[in-house]
Structure 1
Amino acid sequence: MHNFRNLNVWQKSVDLAVKVYFTTKEFPSEEKYGIVSQMRRASVSVPSNIAEGSAKSSKKVFCNSLETSLGESYELETQLEISKRVGLISEKDSELLENDLVEIQRMINGLKSKIASQS
């Protein structure tokens, strides 16, 4: 069992979720129940699944939670790309969020490998 608050990947993914909230606040109001809702949900799910998995006593279950977290991050990456292509987010803002997201994805994969090797 890990203290999720001490995991750098959890801290960075919470920071990213906050950035997504502030960024999507600027999206048009008609997107509130569309891509805004989806992006916020996916961004919150990344650290939430890390936290949930860290509470499990089984390393396999923790790895499964990290897999889910990784899947949510790819979902968010797709939503960022769509937002950029339809002009809801600037190229610069998209790039900043994507850079954070790629770093988080690497960190999730690294943590998953570390946990799996401890089995």
Structure 2
Amino acid sequence: MHRYKDLKFWQLSRVFCKDIYLITKSFPSDEKFGLTSQLRRASVSIPSNIAEGASRVSNKDFARFLRISLGSCYEIETQLLISCDLDFIQKEELEKLQHTLYQIIKMMSRFISTLKI
């Protein structure tokens, strides 16, 4: 088992999740069950899957959950791009969120490569 709370990418993913919640507050109310919901669920999925994977006995299982988290990262990136296309967020906000997202992806990818699977 791994101490997920000590993992920098887990810590950063919690901050990122909060940022997603804050930014989606300004989305149109008719998006409540659309992009707002999708972005929020996917952002919660990142730290949640890291934590769940850390509880697994094998590194192979942990890596599987980390890959699910990575999938959520790319899902969010796509949804953020669409949100920008629809003028729900500004280009500057998109770039800030993408920067944080890329940091999470890089750290998690590097960590996965260190696991002895």
Q: TM-score range by the shorter chain?
A: over 0.9
Aligned equivalent of 1:59: 59
Q: Unaligned stretches of 5+ in structure 2?
A: none
Aligned equivalent of 1:44: 44
Q: Distance in 2 between matches of 1:22 and 1:96?
A: 13
Output the amino acid matched with 2:93: D
C-alpha distance after superposition, 1:64-118 (max 9, x if no partner): 0011000010000000000001100011111100100011011110110011xx3
Aligned equivalent of 2:89: 89
**Is 1:13 aligned with 2:16?**
no
Output the amino acid matched with 1:59: N
Structure 1 segments of 4+ aligned residues over 2 angstroms from their partners:
none
Q: Distance in 2 between matches of 1:85 and 1:64?
A: 32
Q: Unaligned stretches of 5+ in structure 1?
A: none
TM-score normalized with structure 2 length: 0.98
- Report the aligned-residue RMSD: 0.7
